Structure 1
Amino acid sequence: MNLLPRRRAAGSFERAADGSMTLVEHLRELRSRLFKASLAVVAGLVVGVFFARHIQDFLNSPYCDFQREHWTGPGAFRCDFNARSPVDTFLLQLRIGLYAGLLIGSPIWLYQLWAFIAPGLHRRERRYTYAFTAVAVPLFAAGAFLAWFVVSKSLVFFLGMNDFQISIDVTGYFDFVTGVMLLFGIAFEFPLAVVMLNFAGVVTARRLLGWWRPVIFLTFLFAAIVTPTPDPFGMTALAAAMGLLYFGAVFVAYLNDRRRARKNAIYAGLDDDEVSPLEMEYERVGAAEPIGTAEPVEPPSPVDPPAPIQRPRPLDDRYDETT
């Protein structure tokens, strides 16, 4: 009877981490994870199509609210859009459902992507990835919310300049709103990239703080380029938010530099090219004892000359007629 505990078989994560998986096994794992991620997106697509009408009403609310306030026509108000073809509204519902499906299924397909990449990372790198992902999602959501606020104010400004009835294309309006939300969400990831550079040891907080003037100029230039509306309101809102986030990233970098300095306090005050004082090190460890003289080494004895090698006899002398 075997009383020894059975060793648990190594899972796919352990085998991928130690490099024991073959190329074919990696491809099979990739196929399996892509299939699971696709199922999650399809399930989210079904749910997103079901709520697509409510999502579209939410996106259309800034335009519809403005039109409702300035409605002067007969009968009840109705928020109308133009459609260039009979299938535009159907295709728009599918697009909204797809975007919603990507958001709904993001926990599953992001996990599948992470599970495939994580075995190639060290434990410290995986821990940093968890922290950066936890910060990146709220930052993107905050950027999208700011974009929604900018769109609502910009539409009131631009539509209020006209004294006639305006009808907007439904597909163009959706592309405009989602494009602004995407650009603002990506722009809000800028401080996260700054913090990643500091954690990687590329830049310090002092250097980042010294760059604040060109950074503010570049943020306003970036906001002026990517903001789709020519009004200064959206550009100023995006640039001011990116500037505040940059100073927040500098503060996080300052805390990380202090933590790194406490960790390396033993090397404080030493230059990178300074020679280590061995005498001080011996005194610190209590080994400052004089070293005695070395014992004399005996001279080497002469080597005997090699013995001469006898020349082989001819074949006639070594063999007779019989052998």
Structure 2
Amino acid sequence: MSETQATRRQSAGRQKQPKSNDGRMPLADHLRELRNRLCIAILALLIGTVLGFVIHSWVLDQMTHSLCSIKGLHGVAQPTKQCPNGVLVVDGPLGGLSLSFDVSMMIGAIISSPVWSYQLWAFVAPGLYKKERKYGLSFVGAAVPLFLGGAAIAYWVFPKAMRILLGFVPPGMGQMIQGTDFLTFFIRMVLVFGLSFEIPLLMVGLNFIGILSAAKLRSWWRAIVFIIFVFAAVATPTGDPLTMTVLAVPICLLFFVALAVATIHDRTKAKRRAIEDPDSLLDDDQASSLDLAPSELPSQFDGVERISPSELAANEPMRYDSDDDIT
């Protein structure tokens, strides 16, 4: 075998095998595709982080403006134009660099979210059925605005929550907040509000796949409202009544919207099922209707001679009663 032929065989063996009609691939091709999509997602995150580093000062100023503008609060740091009350500080020689990197990476994750979210969907979608892909796109399209709505409410309520918390500082004492602690607190509050707004969407998803019916949701609505308020009290980083109420009330409203969507879906499903199968509406003690329509013989009986009942009676042998005395 020549060296050229061996090289051709090796290159042919390394070629990617085509996908089947149902999206099946060998394990090696799956791992190769996962590696490529992870590389694209990481590259997009790095580019977004670089762009975030350019604007991180402006973003950090927008985040800390509400805290630094609280009057009557005196920090231990030197007052500056960006933070007049001097409440924010950084610790150590690498504190400023660490804070800038964290803010830049947060911005990069937001900027690159269309890229890495598409790579995730493109890797998972081939293994789903057409109906599952349709539902998946619909729920993703609803989850994004819900998360953004929760994040916007968190950004609006954040200054009010900080005023309540910092209002407990005794007079004559200063306040010092680490920059990294402030950023962690802010991100946690945004994530709690954003993810909490996805709970009603999860209920709708469970209803659409047949696990949770609208009738059960209606019977549990009092307990669900109580659980929502308890969850809001535990999940909010501040724990004050204002923040808890601001989080719980929108979730309750979204729950009732989800209940209405689930009710409409169940009624539409019941009507469609009643048309396709009328016996599905019968109780357990009611008899179902019988199908008396004649059916065609299977294909294996084609060509077999059919005998009428009269011919069958004529060819039947004579039978004698047991009381006959011919014997």
Tell me the TM-score range normalised by the shorter chain.
0.7 to 0.9
Counterpart residue type for residue 43 of structure 1: I
Distance in 2 separating the partners of 1:160 and 1:143? 25
Deviations 1:181-232 (A, max 9, x none): 1111111110011000100111221221111111011111111111121321
Counterpart residue type for residue 248 of structure 1: V
Counterpart residue type for residue 200 of structure 2: P
Shift of 1:159: 2.5
Q: 1:230 to 1:265 in 2, by over 3 A?
A: same
In structure 2, the partner of 1:153 is 160
In structure 1, the partner of 2:139 is 132
Counterpart residue type for residue 102 of structure 1: A
In structure 2, the partner of 1:287 is none
Q: Normalization by structure 2: what TM-score?
A: 0.76
Q: Matched residue pairs, number?
A: 278
SS of the residue corresponding to residue 19 of structure 2 reads: helix
Which structure 2 residues correspond to residues 105-124 of structure 1 after superposition, within 5 A? Answer: 105-124=112-131
Distance in 1 separating the partners of 2:256 and 2:54? 42
SS of the residue corresponding to residue 180 of structure 2 reads: helix
Q: CA RMSD in A?
A: 2.9
In structure 2, the partner of 1:244 is 253
Query: Does residue 177 in structure 1 map to residue 189 in structure 2?
Result: no
Which structure 2 residues correspond to residues 243-262 of structure 1 after superposition, within 5 A? Answer: 243-262=252-271
* Structure 1 residue ranges without an equivalent (≥5): 1-11, 284-291, 300-323
Counterpart residue type for residue 128 of structure 1: Y
Counterpart residue type for residue 173 of structure 1: F
Query: Does residue 64 in structure 1 map to residue 68 in structure 2?
Result: yes
Which structure 2 residues correspond to residues 1-323 of structure 1 after superposition, within 5 A? Answer: 15=19, 18-67=22-71, 77-79=81-83, 80=86, 81-162=88-169, 163-164=171-172, 165-266=174-275, 267-268=277-278, 269-271=281-283, 276-279=288-291, 282=293, 293=309, 296=312
Who wins on radius of gyration, i.e. which is larger?
Answer: 1
Identity between Structure 1 and Structure 2 (%): 38
Native 8 Å contact 1:197 1:203 kept in 2: yes
Distance in 2 separating the partners of 1:260 and 1:276? 20
Point out the more displaced range, 269-278 or 25-34: 269-278
Q: Normalization by structure 1: what TM-score?
A: 0.77
Point out the more displaced range, 54-63 or 191-200: 54-63
Deviations 1:267-300 (A, max 9, x none): 3423478664225x639xxxxxxxx85964989x
SS of the residue corresponding to residue 263 of structure 1 reads: helix
Q: 1:261 to 1:20 in 2, by over 3 A?
A: closer
Native 8 Å contact 1:13 1:119 kept in 2: no
Q: 1:32 to 1:277 in 2, by over 3 A?
A: same
Native 8 Å contact 2:56 2:103 kept in 1: yes
